[in-house]
Amino acid sequence: MAGEGDSEPRKSFKLLGFLDVQSVPCARESVLYGSLGSLVVGLGHFLATSRVRRSCDFAVGGFISTMLGYWFYCRYNLAQQRIRQRMLKEGMKNKMLFEGSYLDPEKKQTGNERSDS
């Protein structure tokens, strides 16, 4: 009934034959923002100059620049997020490892404990 057909794999959409938009991080958003940028730049240039061919050229340039700009922005943020996750994971591992021991940085050490070590 419901949920029986859910086990089928999702069909992937490949842009230009090699960029799998479903599995590559930031690819879907980059293409969507690029198409929106293309529309805005092309339509804006057409309304300003009434030159169709030149407006299409500007639309293609707007697509490429918006898509690449958002791609780099998104990938940079994704890399920062992964670094923060890795640091947090290691910090949690160290917290579990050193908790309660004399190496615990949160444990207040008195003068007697320092001289015993």
- Look at residue 35 and tell me if it is in a domain: yes
Show the domain range for 45: 26-96
Tens-digit pLDDT profile for residues 83-99: 999 999 988 887 777 77
- Look at residue 115 and tell me if it is in a domain: no
- Look at residue 8 and tell me if it is in a domain: no
Tens-digit pLDDT profile for residues 26-83: 888 998 999 999 999 999 999 999 999 999 999 999 999 999 999 999 999 999 999 9
Dist. CA 90–CA 92, nearest whole Å:
5
Q: How many domains does the chain divide into?
A: 1
Dist. CA 99–CA 52, nearest whole Å:
69
- Look at residue 5 and tell me if it is in a domain: no
Report residue 12's pLDDT band, with 50, 70 and 90 as the boundaries.
low
Prediction pTM value = 0.66
